[in-house]
Chains A and B, each alone.
Chain A
Amino acid sequence: MKILVCIKQVPQKDAPLKLNETGTWIREDVSYEVNEPDAYALEEALRQKEKHGGEVVVVTVGPARSQQVLREALAKGADRAIHLVDDSFVSLDAVSTARAIAAAIEGQSFDMVFTGLQSDDYGFAQTGVLLAEILGWPHATIIIGIEKTETGLRLKRELEAGQFQWMDSPLPCVLTIQSGINKLRYATLMGIKQARNKPLQQLTKAELEGKLGTNLQTIERLYIPTKQKKTEMLQGSPADIAKKLVDVLRNEARVI
């Protein structure tokens, strides 16, 4: 099984984010990490390879800083990495991102492409589905179980409200992976050492010229959301706050 895993670097979950001066994006001077569902997608690819053999290739689209998530993936066991690198790639919409990835893997015959089900920054939940359309492959979303069968894959999809569904898909196909499908591994010291010698291909914007298309949607402005509710913020020492909360629990919630 030759598996491509699309991963993305996003701001760390509890990183304090600030708007840039033009109010169109965040200030980039924050800590980053791999997008969580993508980490599960990588883990699942590594497990499939361990079961069935093959190759795991990781790809990311982003500025130079995002090489870090590829290095981590190589350290965890991916065989090689592809970095579509340009500062301007942070503002690609989902269609452009999918086109860029499709261009980068042209001529390489993968059996499966995995992505996380959505990213923590844009939250489009589209790149994998769009990639399937560009490649002309079937796809399945929000996958929490993958079994290889004689003819393809048996997949467990998560639906809403605690429901699930099995489905069969032929190969090749694109799957978007749900967090929690497996338990994540840590990179070993040996893995980190080996990663240094693994191939990491860089593709610049110039090399992808003509294959990206133009963004079909535009962020006009980014801003701190207007509050939906008036929130009473409690101040003071922990003891003061505890007393105030008890008042709320007794007088408003009436649970004590």
Chain B
Amino acid sequence: MPETILVVVEQHQSKLNRVSLETIAAAQAIAKETGRQVEIAVLGHDIAAIAEELASKNAAKVYAIECPQLAAYTSDGYVHVLKEFLGGKQPKLVLMPHTYQVRDFAPRLALALGKTVIPDAIGYKYENGKLLFTRQMFQGKFAADVSFSDAGPLWMATFQNAAFRADMAEAGTAPVETLHVTVPDGVIRVQPHEIFKEAKQSVDLSQSESIVAVGRGIKEQKNLAIAEELAKLIGADIAASRPICDAGWLPLDRQVGSSGQTIAPKLYIALGISGAIQHIVGMKGSRLIIAINKDAEAPIFEIADIGVVANLFDIVPPLMEEIKKAKAAAN
């Protein structure tokens, strides 16, 4: 029997988080290259429909781990159930999507098994029989190829959103094995409540065709006026990276990135945004990305189509003058 790469998918309220399909695609690619087989596990309560959906993927098996105590997510519950399951199955490699939920339990799960998680990988390499995971460091300024110090089993890694394409997950037919487990009283120490959105979250940036986004390079709140004026000139909406919203300069619903909105407009102008991973995952699907930043090494230039290394305050005013001229000439 070949060694197993096990994907633990994510579900909320009996709905599959689609990012799980990216992880399945990653597992299939690694399995092909390393001569291993893929298995998939889904855990929670009322998950039969998800297991059925996963059974249409190319995998050796789908495990549906049904557990009434996992109806609402808790790290205690997930660690308990997965520790038992993985400890019994001993897969060579466990892959998960790098979601907030996985970040919450996976490190603890790994340590409970005496293992480690390589988090937030953006790809993998298979070199001379050695599996390396590529991850970003120093806010994306560098990439690192990281290996496990031991020989396995129970290597664990998580993949960043959009590191692989969900539509590359190969179809097939996999048998489903349903396991019924329970979590003993006292294991789950925390009490989660309903998930909600703040009422004031009103702006839907995903509908915007053009975005002018500002980052730390804007320096002061009063300087937002220059970005707002540019946005108005080209009919764009204003958005920001996390620090701007943390500072209260723009409301949270203007935030683009992993904790804010994920968008893919036709035009994205990044003013003074360095391009930390958490921001880039929210906008890298934009069709045309123009970045203005004074730091030539800023990671935003890795994904920009057009780059300008300059202080935004030197570029934006003459740019607005030129736009006005161009508009006047067109009329």
Given contacts A123-B137, A233-B307, A246-B322, contact A224 B235 (CB under 8 A): no
Contact check, A225 vs B149: say whether CB atoms are below 8 A apart.
no
Contact check, B267 vs A165: say whether CB atoms are below 8 A apart.
no
Least Cβ distance of A102 to chain B in Å?
Answer: 11
Contact check, A229 vs B305: say whether CB atoms are below 8 A apart.
yes
Q: How large is the interface on A (under 10, 10 to 19, 20 to 34, 35 or more residues)?
A: 35 or more
CB interface residues, A 156-203, toward B, < 8 Å:
158-170, 178-180, 183
Given contacts A26-B142, A249-B323, contact A140 B112 (CB under 8 A): no
Q: Does B191 contact A (CB under 8 A)?
A: yes
Residues of B within 8 A of A159 (CB): 100, 195
Residues of B within 8 A of A217 (CB): 116, 118, 146-149
Which of the candidate stretches B32-40, B165-173, B296-304 sits at the interface with the other chain?
B296-304
Q: Does B229 contact A (CB under 8 A)?
A: no
Pick from B108, B140, B267: contact of A130, CB under 8 Å: B108
The CA of A122 and the CA of B259, in the complex, are separated in Å by 19
- Closest residue of chain A to B98 (Cβ to Cβ) is A125
The CA of A232 and the CA of B100, in the complex, are separated in Å by 34
Per-residue contact bits, chain A 201-234, to B (CB 8 Å; 1 contact, 0 not): 0000000000000111111111111111101111
Contact check, A216 vs B150: say whether CB atoms are below 8 A apart.
yes
Contact check, B197 vs A126: say whether CB atoms are below 8 A apart.
no
Residues of B within 8 A of A231 (CB): 301-302, 304-307
Contact check, B132 vs A220: say whether CB atoms are below 8 A apart.
yes
The CA of A130 and the CA of B201, in the complex, are separated in Å by 33
Which of the candidate stretches B48-56, B61-69, B177-185, B309-317 sits at the interface with the other chain?
B309-317
Least Cβ distance of A42 to chain B in Å?
Answer: 15
Contact check, A123 vs B136: say whether CB atoms are below 8 A apart.
yes
- Closest residue of chain A to B260 (Cβ to Cβ) is A162
CB interface residues, B 250-266, toward A, < 8 Å:
252-253, 258-262, 266
Q: Does B210 contact A (CB under 8 A)?
A: yes
Least Cβ distance of A95 to chain B in Å?
Answer: 6
Given contacts A95-B116, A138-B189, A232-B305, contact A242 B111 (CB under 8 A): no
Contact check, A238 vs B234: say whether CB atoms are below 8 A apart.
no
Q: Does B84 contact A (CB under 8 A)?
A: no
Pick from B108, B111, B304: contact of A229, CB under 8 Å: B304
CB interface residues, B 108-128, toward A, < 8 Å:
108, 111-112, 115-120
The CA of A19 and the CA of B137, in the complex, are separated in Å by 12
Q: How many A-B residue pairs have CB under 8 A?
A: 244
Per-residue contact bits, chain B 84-104, to A (CB 8 Å; 1 contact, 0 not): 000000000000000110011
Residues of B within 8 A of A138 (CB): 75-76, 189-190
Least Cβ distance of A100 to chain B in Å?
Answer: 14
Residues of B within 8 A of A232 (CB): 305-307
Residues of A within 8 A of B252 (CB): 162
The CA of A233 and the CA of B253, in the complex, are separated in Å by 31
Q: Does A13 contact B (CB under 8 A)?
A: yes
CB interface residues, A 233-249, toward B, < 8 Å:
233-234, 238-239, 241-243, 245-246, 248-249
Least Cβ distance of A6 to chain B in Å?
Answer: 14
The CA of A218 and the CA of B191, in the complex, are separated in Å by 36
Q: Supply 22 A–B pairs (Cβ within 8 Å), ascending by A.
A: A16-B297, A17-B142, A123-B277, A133-B112, A139-B108, A140-B75, A142-B100, A142-B103, A158-B100, A158-B259, A164-B196, A165-B196, A170-B190, A216-B116, A225-B299, A231-B306, A232-B306, A248-B306, A249-B267, A256-B233, A256-B326, A256-B330
**Further contacts, 18 of them, CB under 8 A, given A14-B274, A253-B210:** A16-B297, A36-B243, A124-B107, A129-B75, A140-B104, A141-B103, A142-B104, A163-B197, A216-B116, A217-B118, A218-B149, A228-B302, A229-B303, A229-B305, A231-B301, A252-B288, A253-B234, A256-B326
7 interchain residue pairs of minimum CB distance: A180-B246, A216-B116, A242-B318, A126-B107, A168-B191, A225-B143, A138-B189
- B residues with a Cβ closer than 8 A to A are 75-76, 99-100, 103-105, 107-108, 111-112, 115-120, 132, 135-150, 189-198, 201, 210, 216, 233-236, 242-243, 245-248, 252-253, 258-262, 266-267, 274, 277, 288, 290, 295, 297, 299, 301-310, 314-315, 318-319, 321-323, 326-327, 330
- A residues with a Cβ closer than 8 A to B are 11, 13-14, 16-17, 19, 26, 36, 93-95, 120-126, 129-130, 132-134, 138-142, 158-170, 178-180, 183, 214-229, 231-234, 238-239, 241-243, 245-246, 248-250, 252-253, 255-256
